A and B are shown apart, each in its own frame.
Chain A
């Protein structure tokens, strides 16, 4: 019970760390989603230039580890005279990373929509943008919900990587605690449970959202 004694004074710090973890997750998920919409439209409907640009971007980001991107932005950019705080660097890195992954999930949703849906939309006189807005997007989003929820789970887990650049999020605080108290297994199991609770909440919330937007014929259980 020595652990409980030691952890109590740490609770305010851990709560702050949790706040940063959540802030980083929510910002990255949200702005990553907005970026993803532009990317997926570029990949699927853009002209040659935008197609190559957005596809290339997504390929490069998905082809390299998150942590390397973070290092490049935080430790690398000062080499070309751009200096960012750990928080700014993390936010930028995670938004960039998440937008590429979310774009790929959305793309899967877009491609799951048959050509006839587009033809039907055009045949009643909707133009390209209205078709994307009213026909493709609402369906693609439903197809992509499970993947997007997974992305939030990933973000919660991988924001812990930001400790490497000194961002005082949940994992950073825990590591700090471990190095002072030598109670490694206790603290890591403890925050492991905190992360599990967070992830449980996200998964449950997704199930509720899916039920709310459920439409007969859109059985998503067969999709990942």
Chain B
């Protein structure tokens, strides 16, 4: 649509390249300007970052509308350049634009733009206001780069850069020790996954003889396979699991999920953008992108990890009273859903859930931010009755909640339904994996329950903290506008243009119907139970907690996983490095190196003594003394009496003569 204009502006360049470069680099330019001179600009330069992401957003919308008009689900545009070229080795940088990328771009730029807009209200008055926007711009740049990359190495580069932005933004209020801790934890825990992913890249690089481009890897696999196995797994499965480890870290899947709840220490817009809609979805994106690479065994493993994470994390969301933490566990759980969908082979469903989830989860986070902004508390127990005070926030949050709970007419219903249908059709072929749909449907019930609990506790009932309630007010327009836009995109109807893309995936009719009925039932029962407990108070949550104290404690302590890691890993690492440091100090340095000093000193002392006593005193001085002593003795002969001399002389002559005669 834009092509004619761009051809006029840059006649020699491919118009697509110009558009993509603008989408990618405009946030980077925004970051550089903002980082170095944001403080000095009008409004501390928020408009620079906002404008930069706006450009990316508008251009992405053009790309998207072209994509929709083409009605071609298999659209693809590629271009690549050499980056590192050595003799018989090369690494490239390139762009791969296909339906997956376009949808990701749409999600990223839309949410990012809205979050930028929202932050102009939410972050107002913060001492590092301009720095906040600089980081947001940097994040947008890295995230866009991540989805545009056409090879694993480039993807890894951006993968780490989004990790860096996440680190910087979680620790944005670094004066708080908890925020500083959380940012460090997030970076290190995700890096555990990243190292696994890097090993996966190494295996692929080695086995394919240097191919890292997605297309090249797939075409290699269509002709040959990887050689070798390890622990009974084929190397291909293993490489797939290594790559998946990266996704486990980034998308906070069990057992590396522990960083995401802590990441809520970051400002709420950041939680919405990075830790709900985009970066944490990068793992899901990675699995989607690399999907043809995974062997059935690897996919089954992915499905189990996803399903388990979905249910496991949903249970943790049940009891928590921190509004952001509940949403964080919910995010982990929904990401597990997506992974489960991918694992059972419902790729479109899993990825589509990423798209719909981005909208309603970002909306939920921004709404919670609006509530926090108004009340200055994150504790659900201090909220209540806000329905009338904050009508826009209430309505938009309710819409998003309906979407996430899987109520018909809303987007979440469609995508969740597709995933659950996928699990059912998977089980119909592999009946012994029946746990996957069970986890899936139970997680859906729990999701509906805890989300409505959150809504009831926040907006209904009476104000529990009247002082805070008095001060509460609806947020300004620049904060509510993003809420409205995001809640509108939580309606299923918004996604109708994508039908041609969604319909690529076919689920047998009867299974699909079964899935729909079941998911409606579980969602309905979750909502009903929540209504009974938190609105009608038929069941008192506190007495339930008392009754099932052990379960409640386990949930509130998040299954003691953090404690377990601290005890099993952190303590032992500290012990190990102290031990090694001692070894270095005592054994290597003091014994092996400095130990030579006493040896040398003793040897030199010994040789010095030898030199002094034996050579000098005994041999050299001894000779002297001997000469002196013998001189002293012989001196006695020298009496000075001539008669004695003559006597001795004559005597000697006589002796000589006798000797001579005897010899001769």
Partners in one complex: no
**Residues of B at under 8 Å CB distance from A?**
none
